[in-house]
Amino acid sequence: MTEPAGPATEIVDSYGMTAERAFADLWSRETLTLRERRLLLLGLLVGQGIDDQVELQLDAALRTGDLDEAELRELVVFLTHYAGWTRGTRLGKQVEDLIELVRRDRSGRRGRPG
């Protein structure tokens, strides 16, 4: 059952639309490339330990071609030295799991790695 639209729903929808537009505008600016923005964001997210967003950005980077497998692995090496070994190890696992998942998806086999 769908709840009727009301003031609270309109506020949430309005906020969501505003946030979506702000991010779209931010990502479409011309001075930095999408790849550069993705690298900056990944560094920030890894540094702050925001793993769920790291996973989303890694996936987007690989699937859009902003970064390839070798570049993602190099990102792990680089960020490990600046964000620390614990975060670097976690990032390495995220990258390897993602690479395996994307390879499976591309070959027609579905399923999340363990």
pLDDT per position as a tens digit, 21-34? 777 888 889 999 99
Measured N-to-C along each axis, helices 34-48 and 51-64 cross at an angle, to the nearest 10 degrees, of: 160
State pLDDT tens for residues 55-101.
Answer: 999 999 999 999 999 999 999 999 999 999 999 999 999 999 999 99
Residue type, 113: P
- pTM recorded for the entire structure: 0.76
For 48, the 3-state DSSP assignment is: helix
Number of C-alpha atoms within 13 angstroms, CB side, residue 48? 10
The band of 17, judged by pLDDT with boundaries at 50, 70 and 90, is confident
Q: Residues 6 or more apart from 9 whose CB is under 8 A from it?
A: 3
Scanning the structure block, which residue is given the tokens 């070798």?
70
Using CA atoms, how far apart are residues 62 and 69, in angstroms rounded to an integer? 7
Residue type, 111: G
